[in-house]
Amino acid sequence: MKSWDPRIEEMPKEDLRKMQYKLLKSLVYRLYSFSPFYHERMKEQNVHPDDIQELSDVKKLPFMFKRDLRDNYPDKIFTSTQEELVRYHVSSGTTGKPTVVGYTQNDLNAWTASLARALTSLGLGRGDVIQVSYGYGLFTGGLGMHYGAERIGATVLPTSVGNTERQIELMQDLGATAIACTPSYLLHIGEVAEKMGVDIKKDTKLRTGVLGAEPWTDRMRTRIEDWLGIKAYDIYGTSELSGPMFTECVEQKGFHIWSDLALVEIIDPKTGESLESGEKGELTITMLQKEALPMIRYRIGDITTMDEEVCACGRTHPRIQRIQGRVDDMLIIRGINVFPSQVEYALMGIPEVGQHFQIVVERKGALDDMLVRVELNKGSFSDKINDLMQVRQKVEHRLRNSLNVNVNVELVEPGSLPRFEGKAKRVVDKRSL
Amino acid sequence: MDAQKYVIRQISIFSENRPGRLAAIAHALGEEKVNILAFSIAEANGFGVVRALVDHPEKAHDKLMSLGFNVAFTDVIAVRMKDQPGGLYEVAKILGDAGVNIEYSYAYSGKEGAVLILRVDQVEEAIKKIKTSGATLLERSVFH
């Protein structure tokens, strides 16, 4: 598979590190000199640009958090003037107050280049029709993917989210070969297509899914791939980094994080200490070339591991593994950490139940009570109450084994759980703590 | 003996245990002009199974499936009982003596007497025993 930018993508690791060091050094000088926010942060941390003598000195720099953006709403820490900006995006605010990201033309160019490399690495290019079913507008997903897809010469079908039946008609009529959306929206599209009598495998040209903006699992990937007859690739990014930026390549073994754009660290979320390559921890990213809203050691809150081996595809840039959970959507049930992605992973291995689920947490007396509502699959319905009880017990048993916490399961009717067109909200936490 | 003519197709519907579910099912069947001849609800913690004998099982099945319900066909048999004390005993004894287990059962009392609907573990055996004992099995054509 050809690279979009072979000089960068296949650059020897040593050269990549040298480039990263140069970029980091000049970034830190620039921010220390021109940004009151970063200047003050570095003073507090007692670090001066001269202290950055090698790449690993990045550890000396202070962390940034989502709250830094919220506290400085809307644009107090931007390092470009409004005249230099060509675009704003505003985050959805699902986890708190919205945050605003500004972009210079160079920022948009870097973001688009990142996606051009990524989409090429998973096999898309000229001749493909890419249906962009991420939301267009304040959310970064739609426009980001749109620019990236145009850049590689693919034909963009900008359907955005919603009006699912029309999406399926257009997918057929215009021969979409790829779709970019959240995995939960693709499941919804699959279900609606079935109701319409459209077999995505046979009746469309779809062969690639670029899925992200919410955590999902490898088992869900297998299910989507088998069901819809496509290859499903994970995509990663957040608005603070620019938007969706990094995808898996055809090897499907983690996201390539372009080293000229981003410096990755994996840290222990409790101590902030850097972890060894391969250890699981919190993803921390320094954006090396952003102009309007630089991000230094930004703690995204996603839990993953990093792999620095050269990929079988030939790209030398490090890969991070599929996101295994978020520090902040972690539930604590009776003192035990539970990630919704663990629930999803356990459910994917049980053929009797569907892909959708809802977690309801309540406090009963002094104890947390966790209920998982799952849809009984059509093929698994038996007239016998006993069989149904056994299905429920099986699900409860599996969840208890993988989460180490007691879980009640409720079997519900197919199609009765909420479907999401954007980010799935699968947890209802009724505890008032 | 053609046992098949006594095998009746019951439809079973998975239902959450919350207000309005039976109404939703009944409304769908009403809309399709499907008449319910007998039915029962079995309840477990959090969900239930609605079982019904209807005059057009295929129509009922397709309509409910299209609305997203989990629907299955189950084979049952129907035995005429005397609508008087001891009527149920006569039928139950025949099956008990034959070693046929009743998984579940429900009954209705109509113009032409009482009828017991049975789901048993050995359908053919049950039909044979009931026939030879002289009790009356209702044919499928009575229902649909």
CA-CA-CA-CA torsion for A148, A151, A153, A156, nearest 10 degrees? 40
What tokens does A2 get?
């050809």
Same domain (yes/no): A139, A94: yes
With cut-offs at 50, 70 and 90, classify the pLDDT of residue A366: confident
What tokens does A19 get?
């480039």
What residue spans of A259-369 are helical by DSSP H? 340-348
Q: How many residues does chain B have?
A: 144
Q: Mutation target for B interface from A383, A385, A388, A393: give the one with most B CBs within 10 A.
A: A383
Given an 8 Å threshold on Cβ–Cβ distance, is B74 in contact with A383? yes
pLDDT in tens, A351-361: 999 888 999 99
Select from A327, A355, A383 the last residue of a domain: A327
Report yes or no on B1 lying in a domain: no
CA distance B126 to chain A (A): 19
Number of domains into which chain B is organized? 2
Select from A279, A305, A327 the last residue of a domain: A327
Mean pLDDT of B3-11: 92
Around Cβ B141, how many Cβ atoms within 10 Å?
Answer: 8
Query: Is B61 in the A-facing interface, judged by CB distances under 8 Å?
Result: no
> Rounded to an integer, what distance in angstroms lies between the CA atom of residue A382 and that of residue A58?
59
Report yes or no on B50 lying in a domain: yes
Same domain (yes/no): A343, A202: no
Instruction: Identify which of A191, A255, A260 has the alpha carbon closest to the alpha carbon of residue A20.
Output: A260
Select from B41, B74, B107 the last residue of a domain: B74
Query: Is B46 in the A-facing interface, judged by CB distances under 8 Å?
Result: yes
Note the pLDDT of residue A216.
83
Q: What is the ipTM of this complex?
A: 0.82
Same domain (yes/no): B13, B69: yes
Given an 8 Å threshold on Cβ–Cβ distance, is B70 in contact with A381? yes
Work out the mean pLDDT of chain A and round it to a whole number: 92
Query: CA nearest B10 in A: which residue?
Result: A383
Could you give the strand order of the β-sheet that contains A367-376, starting from the edge strand earlier in sequence? Answer: A408-412, A367-376, A353-364, A427-429
Mean pLDDT of A191-211: 96
Same domain (yes/no): A44, A192: yes
Same domain (yes/no): B80, B123: yes
> Rounded to an integer, what distance in angstroms lies between the CA atom of residue B16 and that of residue A413?
6
Please write down the HEC assignment for all residues of B45-113: CCEEEEEEEECCHHHHHHHHHHCCCCEEEEEEEEEEECCCCCHHHHHHHHHHHHCCCEEEEEEEEECCE
Report yes or no on B62 lying in a domain: yes
Note the pLDDT of residue A95.
53
Select from B74, B96, B119 the last residue of a domain: B74
Q: Residue A354: give the domain boundaries.
A: 331-429
Handedness of CA A415, A418, A421, A424 (dihedral sign): negative
Mean pLDDT of A195-207: 96
Select from B46, B74, B102 the last residue of a domain: B74
Q: Residue B115: give the domain boundaries.
A: 76-143
Report yes or no on B20 lying in a domain: yes
Same domain (yes/no): B48, B106: no
Report yes or no on B34 lying in a domain: yes
Same domain (yes/no): A299, A377: no
Given an 8 Å threshold on Cβ–Cβ distance, is A389 in contact with B70? no
Given an 8 Å threshold on Cβ–Cβ distance, is A383 in contact with B72? yes
pLDDT in tens, B32-68: 999 999 999 998 888 999 999 999 999 999 999 999 8
Mean pLDDT of A170-196: 94
CB A311 within 8 A of CB A319: yes
Given an 8 Å threshold on Cβ–Cβ distance, is B16 in contact with A385? no
Give the CATH number for residue A26.
3.40.50.12780
Note the pLDDT of residue A62.
96
> Rounded to an integer, what distance in angstroms lies between the CA atom of residue B88 and that of residue B107?
10
CB A263 within 8 A of CB A20: yes
CB A110 within 8 A of CB A289: yes
Strand, helix or coil for residue A219? helix
Number of domains into which chain A is organized? 2
Note the pLDDT of residue A70.
85
Select from A298, A327, A356 the last residue of a domain: A327
Same domain (yes/no): A399, A276: no
Instruction: Name the least confident of A261-265, A418-422, A425-429, B65-69.
Output: A418-422
Report yes or no on B58 lying in a domain: yes
- A-contacting residues in B 20-39 (Cβ below 8 Å): none
Same domain (yes/no): A50, A156: yes
Distant-in-sequence contacts of A388-395, Cβ < 8 A, 24+ apart: A388/B14, A388/B44, A388/B47, A388/B49, A389/B44, A391/A352, A391/A353, A392/B46, A394/A350, A394/A352, A395/A347, A395/A350, A395/A352, A395/A353
CB A179 within 8 A of CB A212: no
